Amino acid sequence: MSEQGLDTPPFRPAHASPRSGVLGLQGVSRFYEQGSQRLEIFREASGIVMPGEVIALVGPSGSGKSSLLHICGLLELPSEGDVYIAGRSGQGLTDQERTLIRRDEIGFVYQFHHLLPEFDAVENIVIPQMIAGQGAKAAQAHALQLLERVGLRDRASHRPARLSGGEQQRVAIARALANKPKLLLADEPTGNLDPKTANLVFDMMVEICRRNSVAAVIATHNLQMTTRMDRTWLLHEGRLIDAGRIQTK
Ligand code: ADP
Ligand code: MG
């Protein structure tokens, strides 16, 4: 047990290959072409995330956190370099293969919940499972289990409009975990919540990832949050810096 009472961070061998992690980044750069100008967001970002390892991604607004998460989630390809999901090269896959990996192996949580408003909490978690080919009964049972895990079993039949902001995000987290992903990517998931609710939702998300060996990269503005994570990646002046584990005083 660490000093924070959390499980020991997963073992990550020195000089590990980016193929050895759930997520591996190798020399990833992101440029945007604007007319004749090339806007460089970050360059040569490298890193590995092991199963159950929870990484904070921090950096000022505009530093490229969302862009990097899109690349990690195979929503965009990097301008240079490559990203590996469970050992498979993003560059080496077809569009269809990337879509299947996103569906089956990666969960996404955004700042706004993006739940389907006309469906209740449990249906919002059932739908992605059925799209992935799961039968209705098993999907329903698993959705209820996930709602239990985020403490919302009694809100199963509530539509998003009848949930608080924190509850909506907890359903969004449960939905992101619906297809048992290996990797969770969260883009300022608590940025829209009051500080007390943000802490609660954040801790719940980190705890579920650790308990289920889901690797996570969570972009956050809140430096206090980084002390609860295994490592912090800092986007600073176009570089990705691994700041290691940030300890509380
Ligand atoms: P963050 O999430 O850290 O706030 P973003 O990844 O959203 O940062 O954006 C990083 C930079 O990339 C910003 O300066 C933004 O304006 C720029 N950017 C993002 N998307 C595009 C795009 N499609 N075309 C041009 N520039 C973009
Ligand atoms: Mg962003």
| Structure confidence at residue 5 as a pLDDT band (50, 70, 90) | very low
pLDDT of the residue at 227:
92
**Residue range 209-243, pLDDT digits in tens:** 999 999 999 999 888 889 999 999 999 999 999 99
Residue 7 pLDDT exceeds 60: no
Contacts for 232 with CB less than 8 Å, ≥ 6 apart: 55, 56, 57, 58, 226, 242, 243, 244, 245, 246
How far does residue 125's CA lie from ligand 2's centre (Å)? Answer: 25
> What pLDDT was estimated at residue 13?
65
What global pTM score does this model have? 0.93
Determine which of 31-35, 137-141, 245-249 has the lowest per-residue pLDDT on average.
245-249
* Residue 198 or 1, more confident: 198
CA–centroid distance, residue 62 to ligand 2 (Å): 7
Q: Is the CB of 62 under 6 A from ligand 1?
A: yes
Mention every residue, 6+ apart, whose C-beta is less than 8 A from residue 247.
Answer: 3, 227
List, for residues 172-194, the tens digit of each pLDDT value.
Answer: 999 999 999 999 999 999 999 99
pLDDT of 14 > 90? The answer is no
Q: Which atom of ligand 1 is nearest to the CA of 63?
A: 3
User: In the chain, pLDDT over 70 holds for what percent of residues?
Assistant: 94
Q: How far apart are alpha carbons 59 and 70 in whole angstroms?
A: 16
Q: Is the pLDDT of residue 6 over 50?
A: no
- The Cα diameter of the chain in Å comes to 56
Of the pLDDT bands very low, low, confident and very high (cuts 50, 70, 90), residue 9 is low
Instruction: Kindly state the average pLDDT of the residues 71-79.
Output: 96
| pLDDT above 90: percentage of residues in the chain | 88
CB atoms within 10 A of CB 69: 21
* CATH architecture designation of domain 3-244: 3-Layer(aba) Sandwich (3.40)
Q: Is the CB of 78 within 6 Å of ligand 1?
A: no
What residue ranges do the domains of the chain occupy? Answer: 3-244
Answer whether 72 contacts ligand 1 (Cβ < 6 A). no
Q: Is the CB of 63 under 6 A from ligand 1?
A: yes
CA–CA distance, 177 with 186 (Å, rounded to integer): 12
User: What's the confidence (pLDDT) of residue 10?
Assistant: 61
Measured from the Cα of 60, ligand 1's closest atom is 3
Answer yes or no: are the C-beta atoms of 10 and 50 closer than 8 Å.
yes
